[in-house]
Structure 1
Amino acid sequence: MNLTIKYAIFALIATAVNIGAQDIVIRYYIGAFDILASMIIGTGAGLIVKYILDKRYIFRFRARDAAHDGKTFVLYTVMGLATTVIFWGFEFGFDHIFETKEMRYLGGIIGLAIGYLTKYYLDKRYVFRMESV
Structure 2
Amino acid sequence: MLDLVLRYTAFAVLATLVNLLTQRLVLAAIDGGPGFALAVFCGTATGLVVKYVLDRKWIFHDRSTGLATHGRKFGLYTAMGIVTTLIFWGTETAFWLAWGTELAREAGAVLGLAVGYVVKYNLDRRFVFGPRAAEA
**Under a length normalisation based on structure 2, what TM-score does the superposition of the two structures give?**
0.94
Change (3 A) 1:32 1:96: closer
CA distance in 2 between partners of 1:61 and 1:13 (Å):
20
Q: Which protein has the bigger helix share? A: 2
Select between 57-66 and 18-27 the one with higher mean Cα deviation. 57-66
The alignment partner of 2:28 has SS state of helix
Partner of 1:128: 129
1:1-133, aligned counterparts within 5 Å? 2-130=3-131, 131=134, 133=136
Distance (whole Å) between structure 1 residues aligned to residue 125 and residue 35 of structure 2: 34
* Aligned CA distance change for structure 1 residues 84 and 132 (closer, same or farther; 3 Å): farther
Counting aligned pairs with the same residue, the percent is 41
Amino acid paired to 1:29: I
Superposed CA RMSD in Å reads: 1.2
Deviations 1:49-96 (A, max 9, x none): 000000000000122311100110000000000000000010000000
Distance of 1:8 and 1:32 partners within structure 2: 31
Q: In structure 2, how many angstroms separate the alpha carbons of the residues matched to 1:9 and 1:114?
A: 15
Bigger drift between 107-116 and 25-34 goes to 25-34
Per-residue CA distance 1:77-131 (angstroms, 9 max, x = gap): 0000000000001000000000011110110010000000110000000000131
Give the Cα separation in 1 of the matches to 2:100 and 2:122.
33
What's the offset of the Cα at 1:31? 4.7
Q: Deviations over 1:21-43 (max 9, x none)?
A: 00110001125511110000000
Size of the alignment, in residue pairs?
133
- Runs (5+) with no aligned partner, structure 1: none
Amino acid at match of 1:51: Y
The answer to whether the 8 A contact 1:90-1:108 is kept is yes
Off by >3 Å, runs of 4+ in structure 1: none
